[in-house]
Amino acid sequence: MTRTVLLIEDNEQNRYLATFILERNGYHVSAAPEGASGIELARTLRPDVILLDIQLPVMNGYEVARVLRTIDELRTTTIVAVTSYAMVGDREKALAAGCNGYLEKPIDPETFVGDLERIVSLHVAAFGARR
Ligand code: MN
């Protein structure tokens, strides 16, 4: 089954790189540049995975994650926080906001998909298959 990834990321170069790597690995990728449109897209798309930048304009990624977790259809969607602000407590904040894992930027093209799939596998194992 091809997985669908929703990328919520305001930086165009980061969107381009992540999309390129994911599509090369067989994923369908949709993207939004900020939280509000990302949330609306998530509602209609019901992606398997949401890659969520934490540093976003208007709503930050923690706020976006909390809203996403109020949407019933997205209750078991894997949400992965992505941030370049690797400060102590960030991982815990992301998990507390409803994210299931955490990746640091800049993303490493060699390890990105493997790291992402490890987070998804652990989450799916914990919650069971969604479909
Ligand atoms: Mn950003």
Cα 53 to middle of ligand 1, angstroms: 6
Cα 44 to middle of ligand 1, angstroms: 23
Instruction: Walk me through the domains of the chain, giving residue ranges and CATH numbers.
Output: 4-126 (3.40.50.2300)
The per-residue pLDDT for range 25-56, each reduced to its tens digit, is: 999 999 999 999 999 999 999 999 999 999 99
pTM: 0.94
Per-residue confidence (pLDDT) for residue 16, from 0 to 100 = 97
Average pLDDT, the chain: 93
For residue 87, count other CB atoms closer than 10 A to its CB.
8
Cα 9 to middle of ligand 1, angstroms: 6
Which carries the bigger pLDDT value, residue 130 or residue 20? 20
Reported in sequence order, the residue ranges of the chain that DSSP labels E, i.e. its strands, are 4-8, 28-32, 49-53, 78-83, 101-104
Quick check: 37 and 59 in contact, CB under 8 A?
no
For residue 50, count other CB atoms closer than 10 A to its CB.
27
Q: Is the pLDDT of residue 122 over 70?
A: yes
Q: Is the pLDDT of residue 89 over 90?
A: no
Q: Is the pLDDT of residue 91 over 90?
A: no
Cα 18 to middle of ligand 1, angstroms: 13
Q: Is the pLDDT of residue 74 over 80?
A: yes
Cα 128 to middle of ligand 1, angstroms: 31
